[in-house]
């Protein structure tokens, strides 16, 4: 039986020999050996992917948990204790282009800490559901019958009045804010609708309400309110930051501090309504922004403290809301289809021996 000898002098002197019958089996592995080797390689690759992806997943989990902690401010809230005499209430009616909603808010007395904002929350009924109601269509649909504006909004205010303790009505502010659906109306029609609300609401309800509490807000105001609402719910105005949260250094407008203030990074907002779209995000003091696109405001309870002063870029696009865009798209389809059919029809009937529609009756035999 022949043998094959293999020797090596480096790094050490060694040699061995193999029978000639064994060599073919080593050089040509069996199917079972190939499957085993493939399985081992797959397991090694899978282990590597798990180790690499695990780090990213852990980071994602931390961010997800952080998000849900703030989301709990909205979802995991007990029913509002209306027997608490220290609770204050407020009403906001959002008159949009496709409908109107009333939101009821409540908050305890401020704790006196100038670093903290009011703890405003949406009121919850006995089933822990948000106290909110919507009606359709939008108030702008009453442009030709403005005398019906107060009747239109009565169900919303009646609903809210049932949830707020009666002894609190007189000190509960009511704001009625109309958005893009009203902005596209002529000013005379806007004023007629608002005047009917100013006149009739105080007759039926005892809320804290004045003429200035009902208005058609600008697109800039609408963008600012959306930006404040989103960042308030996300807890971005709470300057006590935790590890892992994004922070930013800002030079607060009007601030006297020599060092930049470190606070949580705020979120930008793209708010698409029915008729308009707003974009809003915070900008640093060093960034130049046109005054008509900039809003500066202090959310704090002390006008002399500037840690809650924000500079926000706001841009609004009237006519680019979801409903308005869809309507333009549908009108474009109809217009293009009508034009195409007209062109195709005139070409077809010019080249065809069949008489065009409408002329068939002229060639139809009588009887």
Burial class of residue 214 in the structure, from the number of CB atoms within 10 Å of its CB (0-12 exposed, 13-18 middle, 19+ buried): buried
SS3 state of residue 13: coil
Q: Judge whether 316 and 266 are in contact, CB under 8 Å.
A: no
Cis peptide before 137 (omega within 30 of 0): yes
Residue of 195, 222, 249, 259 marked active site:
222
Percent helix, strand and coil across the chain, each to the nearest 5: 45, 20, 35
Cα–Cα distance measured from residue 217 to residue 214, given in angstroms and rounded to the nearest whole number: 9
Handedness of CA 51, 53, 59, 63 (dihedral sign): negative
Handedness of CA 238, 173, 277, 124 (dihedral sign): positive
Cα–Cα distance measured from residue 21 to residue 15, given in angstroms and rounded to the nearest whole number: 19
Residue 222 is a catalytic residue: yes
Q: Judge whether 162 and 79 are in contact, CB under 8 Å.
A: no
CA nearest to 181, candidates 148, 141, 221, 231: 141
Q: What are the catalytic residues?
A: 222
């Amino acid at each position: 039986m022949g043998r094959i000898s293999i020797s090596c002098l480096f790094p050490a002197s060694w040699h061995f020999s193999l029978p000639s019958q064994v060599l073919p089996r080593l050089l040509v592995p069996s199917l079972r050996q190939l499957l085993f080797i493939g399985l081992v390689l797959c397991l090694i690759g899978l282990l590597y992917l798990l180790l690499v992806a695990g780090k990213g997943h852990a980071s994602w989990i931390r961010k997800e948990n952080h998000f849900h902690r703030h989301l709990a401010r909205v979802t995991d809230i007990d029913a509002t204790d209306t027997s608490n005499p220290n609770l204050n209430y407020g009403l906001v009616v959002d008159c949009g282009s496709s409908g109107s909603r009333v939101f009821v808010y409540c908050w305890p007395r401020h704790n006196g800490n100038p670093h903290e904002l009011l703890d405003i929350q949406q009121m919850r009924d006995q089933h822990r559901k948000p106290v909110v109601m919507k009606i359709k269509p939008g108030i702008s649909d009453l442009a030709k019958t403005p005398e019906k504006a107060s009747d239109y909004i009565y169900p919303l205010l009646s609903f809210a009045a049932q949830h707020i303790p009666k002894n609190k009505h007189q000190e509960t502010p009511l704001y009625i804010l109309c958005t893009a659906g009203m902005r596209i109306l002529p000013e005379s029609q806007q004023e007629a609708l608002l005047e009917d609300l100013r006149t009739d609401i105080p007759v039926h309800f005892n809320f804290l309400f004045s003429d200035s509490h009902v208005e058609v807000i600008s697109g800039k105001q609408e963008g600012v309110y959306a930006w404040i609402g989103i960042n308030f719910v996300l807890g971005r105005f709470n300057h006590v930051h935790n590890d892992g949260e994004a922070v930013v250094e800002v030079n607060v407008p009007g601030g006297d501090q020599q060092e930049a203030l470190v606070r949580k990074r705020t979120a930008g907002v793209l708010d698409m309504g029915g008729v308009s779209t707003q974009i809003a995000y915070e900008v640093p003091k060093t960034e130049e922004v046109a005054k008509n696109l900039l809003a500066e405001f202090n959310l704090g309870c002390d006008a002399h403290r500037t840690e809650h002063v924000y500079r926000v870029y706001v841009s609004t696009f009237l006519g680019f809301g979801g409903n308005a865009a869809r309507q333009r798209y549908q009108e474009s389809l109809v217009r293009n289809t009508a034009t195409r059919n007209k062109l195709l029809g005139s070409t077809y009937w010019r080249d065809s021996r069949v008489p065009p529609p409408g002329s068939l009756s002229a060639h139809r035999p009588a009887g």
